[in-house]
Copies of this chain bind each other. A is one copy, B any other.
């Protein structure tokens, strides 16, 4: 089956790579960035470099571009595909995308998904085999997609090794703000705070260990990808930030009051994250 992957960055490139390697799918890559297209071809992520004319006569179109671009382009893509083509997006926010296509005549051709996997790197060179293996894929409004196309999507997720969780787009956006978007902001602001201090002391990073490294890892992420995510999910993200800032301020107050018993409890209570995380497949980089 022929699949068009629109957007050959980390996510699109990794999807293309594994699906191509399965031998079941032929991959046509589409990217407005000519260099990315060439790179994806030379890295063997895709079988062929294409353009929007390839959207017709294709079994599946995977849209793997920043969420603002996806919201803008999805209706046009749906306009262009055949009546039996599946169009999937893989963006990190789901409510706006689902809203945008809600009344499209080809709504039943569309499936909203969010494969929860990634690294802090971007571009075709960041594509990895097995990136999605064992990871969770959130699928939204599945009932609005044609049965046959749901099956086609499921085959693809199975090839990628993903498990599926069904969720409504509003709940997805609310919860993902906590477990993903907040982590990114906490990491970016940690990086910023330490860089500010570095202005006074050039040698500070010589003292940084693996703890800092892992906590600040996400601060390497792409602003072009993350700005639209924060925009789409603004209200939820603000809520998580308010909760986080409140918790930090409380910890700071306990320190100001020298209430070390309470500080101990704060940490001890949060230690249960150990057991919680055991359920998460850990990807070390």
Contact = CB atoms under 8 A, between A and B. Distances in A.
Contacts of A196: 243, 247
Given A180-B209, A207-B116, A248-B241, A191 B270 contact: yes
A101 to B, nearest CB: 22
17 contacts: A117-B209, A118-B209, A118-B211, A180-B207, A180-B212, A186-B186, A193-B244, A208-B277, A211-B218, A213-B277, A214-B215, A214-B218, A220-B274, A221-B267, A227-B263, A234-B255, A245-B248
A223 B165 contact: no
Interface in A226-271: 226-227, 230-231, 234, 237-238, 240-245, 247-249, 251-252, 255-256, 258, 260, 263-271
Contacts of A193: 178, 182, 240, 243-244, 247
A255 B238 CA distance: 7
Contacts of A265: 223
Contacts of A183: 190, 211-212, 215-216
A280 to B, nearest CB: 5
B247 A192 contact: yes
B244 A248 contact: yes
Given A215-B217, A230-B263, A248-B244, A271 B209 contact: no
Nearest to A184: B211
A11 to B, nearest CB: 12
Contacts of A268: 223
A284 interface: yes
A201 to B, nearest CB: 6
